[in-house]
Structure 1
Amino acid sequence: TSVNYLDSAFRNIRNLGIVSVTSTDISSLYAKAQHVARRHYGCNIVRTEYYKELAARIVVAAVARAAARCNKGIEVLFAVALEHFVLVVVRVLRGPTSADETAKKIQYLIHCQWCEERIFQKDGNMVEENPYRQLPCNCHGSMPGKTAIELGPLWSSSLFNTGFLKRMLFESLHHGLDDIQTLIKTLIFESECTPQSQFSIHASSNVNKQGD
């Protein structure tokens, strides 16, 4: 697991530096060894249809906590969960204000075990009288027993910086790095929820030339 090295990384990284974290303990991140995920990441998870996204949010939450302990915040540039590893790349933002804003983005997730609808819990310190009401589904009313569980804590904010990904694509085209272009395009599709047929490489190149 990469969590053992995060504190050292964030103690020494400069402002606006970039940290890349690769986690290969997929048995715990993909909920095959839930007790290990609880031990290493302090996170309660189950196997879901979106288990790869869940794995990425677990790692980002661990990265965010390590950064906050060093009075630093993070901006997630992208996260990738493939078959054998989870890769997370973040930009470091120094200062207690950034650290506090980052820490606020670590939240618990309410997950319906019947339809797999999910939603992050509302902010606040008050105990929710009926947390099922936060879910967009009505499974609790139509199914017997307790239908939802609490997962996390997880990173609740964005997993992509679209501008950064488009700059990566532009540079890969410029330098002829054909082997990574398909993956970068897929990440851009996901970050924008854009069908592949509507995606324009030339438009991406123009955006990168102009900057964000």
Structure 2
Amino acid sequence: MGESSTEISEGRVKILVQGGEHKPEKTVGFYNPRMEFNRDFTVATLAAVRRKGWKALDAFGASGIRGIRFCKEIEGLEVTINDLSQGAISMIKKNVKRNKVVAEILNRDAAALMNERKFDFIDLDPFGSPAPFFEPAFRSIRNKGIVGITATDMTALCGIYPKVAKRNYGGTSLRTEYCHETGARLVIAASARAAARFEKGIQVLSVLNADHYLRITLRVTEGAECANKSLENIEPAYHCFDCGEHGFKKKCKCKKKLSEFGPIWSGSIFDEKFIRSGLKILETQDFGTQKRLIKTLELMKEEVRGSAFYYDLHKRYKGNVPRIAEAIEKLNEKGIKATRTHFSPTAIRSEKFSK
């Protein structure tokens, strides 16, 4: 490593990363600086809900940055950092020692490891789709544990390659103005089905849409009834490309033919207690992306009581686009509940849209 390594500071840790191109399939100990917000969000929210003695798994360690931050910034966790690459393991060991933390470091296939061991928190951030790791993760997770999923395969989830979405997640995607949310709901539906195979149900704590990825946080509860209840929240969705209406009802105001997609998760995607707990942590801890974290969580807090899906004002208006606050006020005056959404700065979360 020597001369080709560079020191990186993030959160409360300093790590060495290999120089050269930042490509996960080619770089040993891959470090992606654009994912700092993802890691900050994970640390802040996990710190808010973790219990002392929890066993946490960073399933795809790479440079070790995420797992080392768990050790350094969250009290009471027993952390395991895993990676299949022997080169990455060498770097992780050096970075763990460099930060004077204690972590179990394993050189294993992530799926095989999760099939053998039990954890209270599992972080999935693989190169490519996370779908192949759902069953091992939900087999492994303990009762009331949390699974955090990062999905970067947005071309499949956003309707560019709907057949890929069908293969990976068991539902078709559709290219729409709100496709990032439906993509997240596809991932959640696939997660619910995977958990149900082990008689476990899921509760969605949050969906984060940021940059080029989705970050989904799920709480898992054991029991066949919990599994059955989760599966009740999976159903097909519909979109009308003529009038723009969309939702889980097979009808629209213009009575034209609807495009069906999914099935997707139809339940809530934000938990108010979880989001408020994350905001509480931000009062006492400072992160590199602090302002963005606060803004995002505050928007999520608004979205808790909002409907599924959103409308992009820039796509709805020709010419003068009203301010978000003005548009929300007008909808509320008509008895239509509307809120802002962190999914898009130009969109409104609303059951239906009216100018």
User: TM-score scaled by structure 1?
Assistant: 0.78
CA distance in 1, matches of 2:131, 2:295: 29
Residue 206 of structure 1 aligns with which residue? Answer: none
CA deviation map 1:10-35 (0-9, x unaligned): 11111100110111111101111122
Deviation at 1:117, TM superposition (A): 1.4
* 2:143–2:220 contact (8 Å) kept in structure 1: yes
Deviation at 1:173, TM superposition (A): 1.4
- Contiguous gaps of at least 5 residues in structure 2: 1-128, 307-323, 326-355
Residue 153 of structure 2 aligns with which residue? Answer: 25
CA distance in 2, matches of 1:107, 1:94: 22
Q: Secondary structure at the match of 1:8?
A: helix
Q: Secondary structure at the match of 2:163?
A: helix
Question: Does residue 118 in structure 1 map to residue 246 in structure 2?
Answer: yes
CA distance in 1, matches of 2:173, 2:159: 6
Deviation at 1:187, TM superposition (A): 1.4
* 1:71–1:95 contact (8 Å) kept in structure 2: yes
Question: Does residue 63 in structure 1 map to residue 180 in structure 2?
Answer: no
Which residue, 290, 302, 305 being the options, matches 1:189? 302
Q: Secondary structure at the match of 1:20?
A: strand
Q: Secondary structure at the match of 2:220?
A: strand
Residue 139 of structure 1 aligns with which residue? Answer: 254
CA distance in 1, matches of 2:172, 2:132: 19
Residue 221 of structure 2 aligns with which residue? Answer: 93
Q: Secondary structure at the match of 1:160?
A: coil
Q: Which runs of 4+ in 1 moved over 4 A?
A: none
Matching residue's letter, 2:279: L
Residue 161 of structure 1 aligns with which residue? Answer: 271
CA deviation map 1:41-92 (0-9, x unaligned): 1212221111111111111111111111111000000011223111110100
| Structure (1 or 2) with the greater strand fraction | 2
CA distance in 2, matches of 1:41, 1:192: 27
Q: Secondary structure at the match of 1:138?
A: coil
Q: Which moved more, 1:58-67 or 1:175-184?
A: 175-184
CA distance in 2, matches of 1:110, 1:182: 31
CA distance in 1, matches of 2:201, 2:258: 31
Q: Which moved more, 1:27-36 or 1:89-98?
A: 27-36
* 2:173–2:183 contact (8 Å) kept in structure 1: no
CA distance in 2, matches of 1:166, 1:76: 15
CA distance in 1, matches of 2:234, 2:206: 17
* 1:72–1:92 contact (8 Å) kept in structure 2: yes
For the pair shown, which has the larger CA radius of gyration, 1 or 2? Answer: 2
Once the two structures are aligned, what percentage of the paired residues are identical?
35
Structure possessing the higher relative contact order (Cα contacts under 8 Å, 6 or more residues apart)? 1
| Structure (1 or 2) with the greater helix fraction | 1
- Contiguous gaps of at least 5 residues in structure 1: 122-133, 197-212
